[in-house]
Amino acid sequence: MSQGTFRGGLSGSVRAVVVVALAVALAAGCTTPDDEPTPTAAPATPVPDPEPEPTEQLPEEPEAPLPRTGTPDERDAEAAGEFFLRLYEYTLLTGDTQQWEERSLPGCEFCANVVADVDAYRSEGARFVDLEFTVEPARFVAFEDVLVMFAVEVPYEQSATKVVKADGSVVKEFGGGAGFLLLEMAYAPESGWLLRTGNDRDESWS
């Protein structure tokens, strides 16, 4: 009897079993992806938004008061004195010296010193922080009719403050305290209130 092509060929019955098994295996391997269960993705864990870094609240630039009538009087001068102390605080905290310079009369040494200090710190990339003034009602002191100058005294309290650079290093520190700022001011209809001088005092003028 002749043998099959491959030596040790399978018998007919065994061959039939192999053919059936192979057919089943092929049928299983030909199933489409749609027949398989679709894996369920795990729900994404929500990522919380980063908290914004706290920023220092800077004061708004104050507006100079106008006389209640055409001619300024003692009450108008008191309001102007309180305004100048607020402008002083604004200038130190923001480094914006424009209005301070516009409202400084020539020869005002106090005014020039404020600008020089602010410009010096700004050139170093430094600024005032934690500075706050509590301004009490100003008091009229005197009126000079020849030069049309008003003198008012503004009681205040100042918080402790410091000058810091962008990297947080401290340039200078100032202690808090209270005092009386004596201001001499003029009023010009075309320019408004102008500062002639300022003098910080430990005691009241009165």
Does 171 map to a domain? yes
Number of domains in the chain: 1
CB contact at 8 A, 159 and 179? no
Summarised one tens digit per residue, pLDDT across range 99-112 is: 999 999 999 999 99
On average, the pLDDT of the chain sits at 81
**Inter-axis angle of helices 74-94 and 109-123, to 10 degrees?**
20
Summarised one tens digit per residue, pLDDT across range 152-192 is: 999 999 999 999 999 999 999 999 999 999 999 999 999 99
Domain of residue 84 covers 74-201
**Which pLDDT score is estimated for 37?**
56
More confident residue, 30 or 43: 43
Does 19 map to a domain? no
Does 9 map to a domain? no
**Which pLDDT score is estimated for 27?**
43
Closest CA to 188 of 142, 149, 146: 149
DSSP 133-184: EEEPPPEEEEEETTTTEEEEEEEEEE--EEEEETTS-EEEEE--EEEEEEEE
Q: For the domain that residue 192 is a member of, what is the CATH number?
A: 3.10.450.240
Does 160 map to a domain? yes
Phi, then psi, of 110 in degrees rounded to 5:
-60, -45
pLDDT at 146 over 80: yes
Does 85 map to a domain? yes
Report if pTM > 0.75.
no
